[in-house]
A and B are shown apart, each in its own frame.
Chain A
Amino acid sequence: MAHSTAVHAADPAHLDTSTGVDNRKLAFWTFIGSECLLFGSLIASYMAYKGSSRTGPYPHDTVLADGTLVPGILDVPLTSISTAVLLFSSLFMVLGLAGVQRGDRKSGALWLAATALFGSIFLGFQVYEFTHFWHNGLTLSSNLFGSTFFMLTGFHGAHVLAGVLYMSTLATLVWTGRLGKDKSLNVEIGGLYWHFVDVVWIIIFPLIYLIP
């Protein structure tokens, strides 16, 4: 015990675990690692079949064999706005964590609530986009683009939805004082999830929308 205390005095980040790091955080990073493989497989499927659809609707402007120009279905300006919204939500998440770590209950809860709100706005954009595509004939079964696009962005959207519920719960717990400075690691782990969802979109957005 005396040895342990001495070690901690020298290195306050050291914990009494076999790795010297918090087991909950290590477990969550391992979970994020497994999520990398899940999204890796979905992105790989999209990339493998990119530009291989034999029938429309096509993602970008396409010239058919007979010379006809078919306009692309993707709305880059709209998705650019939703991308900015998701990026801002990531900023709000770290500001919320900083608030909780300072013991500032109000700031922590408000920034976490803002994170959940911006996540919800991103989902609203996605629902609008999916509905618009559906009305224009793009479904899961219409062509290779539809199948791979809806699988990839649908899985990402489901993660955002889970994140919104997660952040709303954290905001409520912080606001009611049940999650304070002494348990800020719980908020930090929530933040890891949210930032990962953001990081996945950082990869998906250029691959689907910006690179024809």
Chain B
Amino acid sequence: MSSETHEVAHDVDAHPGTRLYWIIGLYLFILTALEIGCYYLEDTLGGMATPTILALSAAKFILVVMFFMHLKYDSKIFTGVFLFPMALATLVIGGLTILFHVLHPMGM
């Protein structure tokens, strides 16, 4: 059995159908609309606006990575190779944000 035959067998078996892709696309569109809605309703939502926007953004991120990038269906090795540097990057972003805005705010 050639390597290319393996690829075809793997791809066809492992990936979801086009119907699911359209559904995920619709979810992404709705989540983006909600994000923008939160921006315009900031006065109403108050302190909840930022966490809500971040949660919606995280949901979109997860949907794209799991279904469009196929991490839900692929080998867990790929998930590890992606999530480890992603966690490091998140740590750096969070660390610098806390350092510059909470511990040592620079002001306007």
Contact = CB atoms under 8 A, between A and B. Distances in A.
A is bound by B: yes
A29 B13 contact: no
B101 A50 contact: yes
Nearest to B40: A76
B35 A41 contact: no
A44 B96 contact: yes
Contacts of A88: 25, 29
A67 interface: no
Contacts of B89: 36-37, 39-41, 43-44
Interface in B16-43: 17-18, 21-22, 24-25, 28-29, 32, 35-36, 38-39, 42
Nearest to A31: B81
B15 interface: yes
Interface string A70-89: 00000010001001100110
Interface in A1-39: 5, 8, 12-16, 19-22, 25-26, 29-30, 32-34, 36-37, 39
Interface stretch (A121-129, A153-161, A191-199): A191-199
Contact of B32 (A49, A84, A185): A84
B98 to A, nearest CB: 10
Main secondary structure of the interface of B (DSSP, over half): helix
A139 interface: no
Contacts, number: 186
B32 A87 contact: yes
B10 A12 contact: yes
Nearest to A196: B69
Contact of A32 (B8, B82, B107): B82
Contacts of B11: 101, 184-185, 188
A203 B64 CA distance: 12
A37 B82 CA distance: 10
Interface of A: 5, 8, 12-16, 19-22, 25-26, 29-30, 32-34, 36-37, 39-41, 43-45, 47-54, 62, 64-65, 76, 80, 83-84, 87-88, 90-91, 93-95, 97-98, 101, 181-185, 188, 191-192, 195-196, 198-199, 202-203, 205-206, 209-212
28 contacts: A5-B1, A12-B13, A16-B3, A20-B75, A37-B85, A40-B85, A41-B92, A44-B96, A47-B96, A49-B106, A54-B108, A84-B29, A88-B25, A88-B29, A90-B68, A91-B21, A91-B24, A91-B28, A91-B68, A95-B21, A97-B15, A101-B15, A184-B7, A191-B69, A195-B65, A202-B61, A211-B53, A212-B42
